[in-house]
Amino acid sequence: MQYVSTRGAAPKLSFEDVTLTGLASDGGLYIPESWPSFSASEIAAMRGLPYAEIAARVMHRFVGDSLSFEELRELTGEAYGRFAHAAVVPLTQLDERHWLMELFHGPTLAFKDVALQLLGLFFERFLARRGEQLTLVGATSGDTGSAAIDAVAGREGVEIFMLHPQGRISDVQRRQMTTVRAPNVHNIAISGSFDDGQAAVKRMFTDPALKGKLQLGAVNSINWARLMAQVVYYFTSALQLGAPDRPVAFSVPTGNFGDVFAGYVAAQMGLPVAKLVVATNINDILHRALSDGDYSAGEVTPTAAPSMDIQVSSNFERLLFDCGGRDGNALADQMRAFEVSKAMRLTNAQREGASGLFTSVRADQDAMAHTMRRAFQYCGEVIDPHTAIGLHAAHEVDLSPDIPVVTLATAHPAKFRDAVERATGTRPALPARVGDLFAREEHFTELEGDYDQLVDFITTNAVQGR
């Protein structure tokens, strides 16, 4: 299995190289050269298997020679053995056709753990094999940061610099990052939004001076391995609801387009996906792009679903590449123009390519709060604001009534206790596995977010190569 860049000019890489490389040298994102696929009988044969086994079967198609099937199965067993639920991502039924896929049973209470617990093990295995070190740089709107830090804190060969937008994430999210005391963990609070942090991180990967000093790696969904691990739970949940004999729809609370792109990949691999519903909050660039072809980024508006307060949606580039005919040169021109003007129209090919599988729904703050209340009153389920946006969208879309609709429950409600309490009157308790989060001391550095200042901080504090 080889990987190509969405912008056409970077070298093709193996899975191991892609995992350690982050952004492609031409500024693009790596994607498999072609989609591997399963027959209906191969999918049916996975029914009833443990999560870690299905994970190894699905992902081995992407890993090529970088890991044997047995090595991969050992790593999936280790990663998913750390989850607090034996099913890893259990399904909860809400009514005769709506389901929640609970993705928050990992150590940091959000879906990011599903990929990052495994990615931490990939880093360790590949770096030990090569005798190399990696400086991870990342941007977070709250959940990637905590999951990445948990996955790599104290590990050999890696250090992490994580940027979060000051004052724009929940107190639980912030503390899950800033109370971790490990010499290889550096938290930086920047002024501005997640988009500003993500733009700075992407610039670092194409900065020859910085790359001359440090081997950089990515923990954001820039890193293909993140998305690959997220493909698995589309398979496990669809299998429980009747796949491959019955198509299933998914409603996905969306920000950086990673999670829902993983659903797209599952469909390319042969899973019968009836529809992917892209659910956005009022930062609705993806809803406008999919419904009208208008991909133009405005200012990010802070909401009670802060992890989705994103306007420039990184993985949308992967979809545009795949749906638009895989023309890297044309996409490079389109993306470069977008980077200057912050606006673009999708081509007809891109719109038509996306329209078969995707639809989109935007939820405002009232719809989000109303859905949290309704889930609590009618189903006894306390859900977080991001999940509520997905569930709102699941009820808005027009689908045949015999198709089950799975909403991805992307975070534990306790991560956003204040917003949940405002909407439902119930304050969810933090699970015991997060420990004494509010008793621990916080440590982070405040920076303006100016690019040169960030690079200076990283190069001064990195231990790689010393």
Ligand X SMILES: N[C@@H](CCOP(=O)(O)O)C(=O)O
Active site residues: 112
x-or-dash string of contact with ligand PLP, 260-279, rule CB under 6 A = x-------------------
224, 214, 223: which is closest to 186 by C-alpha? Answer: 214
Interface region with ligand X, contact rule CB under 6 A, candidates 7-15, 86-94, 134-142, 439-447: 134-142
Phi, psi of 239 (to 5 degrees): -60, -40
Q: How far apart are CA 160 and CA 149, in angstroms?
A: 7
Give the interface segment with ligand X, choosing from 13-21, 40-48, 142-150, 267-275 (CB under 6 A): 142-150
| 411 lies in the binding site for ligand PLP (CB under 6 A) | yes
Binder among 117, 307, 347, 407 for ligand X (CB under 6 A) = 307
- Among residues 419 and 462, whose Cβ is nearest to ligand PLP? 419
> Minimal distance in Å, beta carbon 259 to ligand PLP?
4
Contact range with ligand PLP by CB under 6 A, out of 257-265, 342-350, 395-403, 454-462: 257-265
CB 147 within 8 Å of CB 451: no
Residue 255 in the binding site for ligand X (CB under 6 A): yes
Q: Which residues contact residue 177 at a Cβ distance below 8 angstroms, ignoring those fewer than 6 apart?
A: 140, 145, 146, 149, 162, 164, 187, 444
Nearest alpha carbon to residue 444 among 201, 225, 166, 234: 166
Residue 73 as a binder of ligand PLP (CB under 6 A): the answer is no
Candidates 236, 307, 347, 359: give the one binding ligand PLP (CB under 6 A). Answer: 307
Decide if residue 391 touches ligand PLP (CB under 6 A).
no
Residue 359 contacts ligand X per CB under 6 A:
no
Residue 189 contact partner, candidates ligand PLP, ligand X, none, CB within 5 to 8 A by sort of partner: none
410 makes contact, choosing from ligand PLP, ligand X, none, with CB < 5 to 8 Å by partner type, with ligand PLP
Which are the contacts of 27, defined by CB distance < 8 A and separation ≥ 6?
7, 202, 205, 206, 332, 335
Contact between 259 and ligand PLP (CB under 6 A)? yes
**Interacting positions 130-189 with ligand PLP (CB under 6 A):** 143
Residue 142 touching ligand X (CB under 6 A): yes
Q: Answer yes or no whether residue 257 interacts with ligand PLP by CB under 6 A.
A: yes
Q: Which residues bind ligand PLP (CB under 6 A)?
A: 110, 143, 253-260, 307-308, 386, 410-411
Contacting residues toward ligand X, per CB under 6 A: 140-145, 194, 220-221, 255-256, 258, 307, 314
